[in-house]
Structures are given as structure tokens and as C-alpha cells.
Amino acid sequence: DPKNTSRICSKCGYNSGAKPLEIRECTCSKCQTKHDRDINAAVNILHKGSTKLNGQGLAMVTS
Ligand SMILES: [Zn+2]
């Protein structure tokens, strides 16, 4: 379920809410991490998938 994956910071989990599609990059207002929208969404999807598969969540992501 890709819901909210382009809204949630892949680093700290902060949900910054809906953003217009034309915004390709954003900076998290909580941890100040700069994100590419699609990459951030992809990382969030990976987190969701890995949590479902092995229950380890963020442990798989090292970068
Ligand atoms: Zn953040």
C-alpha cells in the first residue's frame, strides 16, 4: 500500500502532509533532511515491504 509514502520522511518518519506533484524535492521540516520525492517514497515503500517480510523494518537499510 503506497499510501502516504511521498509524505513521510524516510529518515525520521515525520509526515509533512500532502504536497503538490510538481514539487520534486523537499526538506523535512523536522530533521532537515533533503529528499528527492521519488527516492524518499521508494525508501518508505522498502521499509513497509521489509517490515512485512521479516519484521526488521529499518534494520535492512544502511544508507
Ligand atoms: Zn525527517
Q: Which residues surround ligand 1, an ion (CB under 5 A)?
A: 9, 11-12, 14, 28, 30-31, 33
Please check whether residue 17 lies inside any domain of the structure: yes
Please check whether residue 46 lies inside any domain of the structure: yes
Rounded CA gap, 6 and 19, in Å? 8
Please check whether residue 62 lies inside any domain of the structure: no
Domain span at residue 21? 1-56
pLDDT digit string (tens) for 27-40?
Answer: 999 999 999 999 99
Dist. CA 26 → ligand 1 center (Å): 10
Torsion of CA 58, 21, 14, 1, to 10 degrees: -50
Band of pLDDT at residue 4, cut at 50, 70 and 90: confident
Please check whether residue 8 lies inside any domain of the structure: yes
Rounded CA gap, 52 and 16, in Å? 24
Please check whether residue 40 lies inside any domain of the structure: yes
Residue 59, pLDDT above cutoff 80: no
Number of domains, the chain? 1
Dist. CA 53 → ligand 1 center (Å): 24
